[in-house]
């Protein structure tokens, strides 16, 4: 398969890297499009969330793959990410989830980005810039129905939207949305959010205020909640082949997009009773063979994985022993030697992904680290070189 290393200015191949499978990404996009049609009565498709370097997968390359799949809308965090996409030549609609600073208004208008509006001062700044440029700006209004983060309080929603319509004629009220904070753990609360949000949208329609896009479904919302109101979904983690809830595996078939691979850089025998790594938190109970891999917490492999995680060597799960250090981890490969193949310098070990039928998932890594799969992908993918396969 064709592959390339993206913008990491390396003179030699790194001993540790992320493999990004663009075919898997395209497959997941297609499957999520079908799921949106199934779960939303008036589906306009999905808006893939590619913020934070596409969850560590590389925003520009992910956007390029999705563009070839026919994607019409991207979701990013801020103006800086949106501008990067514009400068790379992408013409899709780009929604900014985070656009609350008045100082960003000029860039938003200049680069034809679609801001989220949840404060009047930002709306007024956008109106002024649009008027000066002799143009209009499409905006999406965010309502806070339970997240407690960004958004217009639902009790103030009607007055806020009416103010935008009367005071900001250069703003096109293109979309309205909210966000689900507990879709995976509190179904009753989430259904209550949907009802309250629907009531607000219907009240606005009664005042002849309608929106092209009405959305709330993140990955969990798209996968587990049907709606005749929403017409756009915003999948993030599922786009990259990771399920927010195991139950969703029965509803949609996804393929993990990221794997993390490391070359073994050193192998040695550790005698019984010897300690390993800082603090000697691990001591060998018998003679063991260990391999050193060039990955550590500076590369996004969290220190909390010390003495808890496993990697794959020759298709065998081998435990990480001792503390994770800044640039390296030490792995007990004794079990791999019993498989008939003695690990040696240069062999590949799999940190995340599959090898010889065995697998280590992002969810497992997250469990061992005491975090979530989202953080694992962002952490590893944003600090290691990425090799793309298409």
What digits encode the pLDDT tens for the residues 53-64?
999 999 999 999
Query: What was the pLDDT predicted at 2?
Result: 39
Sign (positive or negative) of CA dihedral 178, 66, 244, 320: negative
Q: Do 218 and 191 have their domain in common?
A: yes
Q: Which of 116, 87, 86 is nearest to 104 (CA)?
A: 116
pLDDT at 1 over 50: no
Residues with active-site annotation: 51, 278
Q: Do 361 and 234 have their domain in common?
A: no
- 179 in any annotated domain: yes
Q: Domain range holding 384?
A: 258-389
Q: How far is CA 11 from CA 8, 14, 47, 361, 383, in A?
A: 9, 9, 37, 31, 17
What digits encode the pLDDT tens for the residues 221-251?
888 888 889 999 999 999 999 999 998 999 9
Q: How far is CA 77 from CA 52, 96, 115, 146, 377, in A?
A: 7, 5, 10, 20, 17
| pTM of the model as a whole | 0.93
* Count of the separate structural domains present in the chain: 2
CATH number of the domain within which 74 lies: 3.20.20.10
- 8 in any annotated domain: no
Sign (positive or negative) of CA dihedral 378, 384, 385, 388: negative
Q: Do 228 and 157 have their domain in common?
A: yes
- 22 in any annotated domain: no
Query: What was the pLDDT predicted at 12?
Result: 55
Q: Do 228 and 280 have their domain in common?
A: no
- 133 in any annotated domain: yes
What digits encode the pLDDT tens for the residues 19-40?
999 999 999 999 999 999 998 8
């Amino acid at each position: 398969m064709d592959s390339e290393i993206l913008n990491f200015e390396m003179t030699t191949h790194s001993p540790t890297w992320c493999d990004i499978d663009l075919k898997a990404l395209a497959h997941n996009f297609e499957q999520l499009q079908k799921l949106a049609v199934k779960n939303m009565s008036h589906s306009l498709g999905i808006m893939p969330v590619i913020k934070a370097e596409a969850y560590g997968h590389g925003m520009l390359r992910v956007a390029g793959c999705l563009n070839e799949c026919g994607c019409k809308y991207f979701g990013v965090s801020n103006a800086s990410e949106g501008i990067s996409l514009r400068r790379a030549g992408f013409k899709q609609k780009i929604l900014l989830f985070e656009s609350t600073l008045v100082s960003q208004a000029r860039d938003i208008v200049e680069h034809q980005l679609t801001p989220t509006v949840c404060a009047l001062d930002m709306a007024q700044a956008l109106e002024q810039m649009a008027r000066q440029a002799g143009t209009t700006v499409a905006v999406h209004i965010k309502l806070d129905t339970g997240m407690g983060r960004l958004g217009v309080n639902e009790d103030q929603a009607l007055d806020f939207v009416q103010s935008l319509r009367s005071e900001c004629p250069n703003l096109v009220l293109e979309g309205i949305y909210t966000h689900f904070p507990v879709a995976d753990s509190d179904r009753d609360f989430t259904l209550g959010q949907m009802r309250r949000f629907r009531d607000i949208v219907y009240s606005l329609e009664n005042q002849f205020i309608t929106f092209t896009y009405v959305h709330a479904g993140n990955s969990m919302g798209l996968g587990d909640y049907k709606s005749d109101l929403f017409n756009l979904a915003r999948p993030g983690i599922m786009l990259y082949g990771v399920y927010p809830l195991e139950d969703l595996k029965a509803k949609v078939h996804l393929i993990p997009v990221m794997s993390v691979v490391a070359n073994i850089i050193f192998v040695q025998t550790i005698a019984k009773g010897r300690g390993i790594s800082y603090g000697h938190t691990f001591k060998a109970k018998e003679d063991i063979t260990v391999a050193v891999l060039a990955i550590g917490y500076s590369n996004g492999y969290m220190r909390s994985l010390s003495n808890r995680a496993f990697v794959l060597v020759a298709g065998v799960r081998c435990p990480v022993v001792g503390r994770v250090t800044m640039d390296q981890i030490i792995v007990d490969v004794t079990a791999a030697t019993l498989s008939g193949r003695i690990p040696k310098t240069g062999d590949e070990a799999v940190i995340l992904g599959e090898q010889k039928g065995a697998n280590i998932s992002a969810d497992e890594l997250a469990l061992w680290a005491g975090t979530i799969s989202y953080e694992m992908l962002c952490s590893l993918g944003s600090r290691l070189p990425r090799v793309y396969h298409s």
